[in-house]
A and B are shown apart, each in its own frame.
Chain A
Amino acid sequence: MSTNFSEPVAGSDWLVVGVGTSASSDDEIGLALVRTLSREKEYNRHCRLLEYADAATLASSLLEWQQPVILVDAADMDLPPGQYRFFSDSDAAVTVKDSSVSTHGLGLAEGLELARRLGYDRPIRIFGVQPFDLSPKQGLTREMSELFPSLLDALKTACSRLQA
């Protein structure tokens, strides 16, 4: 949820949205990065958190915000663990489960697709981080924690490129 942050920014500004859960180890990386970023005054009003968000929540949030977004999340990109990639949703083949979805099984890709099909036409960038471990436990892995400062710097660089 985004309740701890300032009022929405102007329509042309980017929002930085942390996505994930805090119960599956490195799946928290998106939330942790954006939560840390939000403590800096210049970024606070741009930051939102979508913790445990299902596809419906993601899609309805995008449709409500109607602003360009940077989604920060753990992503399986066939990269070595700890590496990140910054890309557009149109650059990547994000697998959408068109038929085999359940109320429990609609994920990020289906949420983006749903928003797109309902008319959300603002740019979407994804800051994806390859996780080390997604097993059910609290806290980032030690390896991810060690990389955290450099990932935060990379995210800030990505944000400044877009805001410029």
Chain B
Amino acid sequence: MIAVFGLAAVAQPLKFVVNQSGGILGYASNISANDVVSQINQQRQNSGASALTTNSTLNQAAFAKAQNMLAQQYWAHVAPDGTQPWFFFKQAGYSYSIAGENLARDFSDTSDMVSAWMQSPTHKENIMNARYRETGVAVVNGTLLGTETTLVVQLFGSAPTNTPKISDTAKTVKASPAPSNRPTTKVAATGSGAVQNITPIPSPPTEITVINAPTSENSTQTLGAEVLPITVLSAPPLFSPLQLMKALFLAIIFVLSSTLFYDWVLMNNSNTVRLVGKNLAHILLLLTIAFLLVFFKGGIIG
């Protein structure tokens, strides 16, 4: 039985190739961007909210965020250098009236990941927010803090209605006072159970000017993407470190349980009395651990 558990744990499909466009992605996972959007929309529709549409610009922004996390080796909404989440919206050229970000890593299955988000009030709030109209998802593999992992970045946004043309906007913005209805960015705070309101965001017209200006930031991003340690999985590894560790533990449990069972049968048949612990209890405990190793799906959300 333990051997069956072991095989089940390590036999998950793993051979996928990284790309940005929403196909099957992921190292040690079968998460795909399309599945993420599909399942998020299913959750929204169950609660009566409209489905999100995939926006290619938001996809790029999500990908840039994932790349940034791998390049700077951090796992947070705000980078160590202070880069805020909406920087990536701007960099990709997406203007918004409201925006949000959900993060996840180490998941091997889309359903588990979406389920984890739905169990977190702050992430759920992002998913269910009826004001969001569009989404972008990136599933990127790489080494984060010494561990090979799959990062998932989902960005939410809603473009401002009646977006003016850029050339006209620049003039308008400079002349007009700041609007009272400022856009907000909501970020699901890791584990805190609270929505973190990030520092004030410039008004939409100002953003449009900044986004489309040929600034040095855009150039930097382009250069940075060339040196990021993203794993392009032309020949992906068969197993993730977590799966290998689970397989090792299951093997140890199998050996220990077999030994305990054999010892127990032997002592019963020879009617030998020993003052030792109860082998059956040990076996039950080890089977419990084996069960959890097989059926527990790890993963962290942020």
Whether chain B is bound by chain A comes out as: no
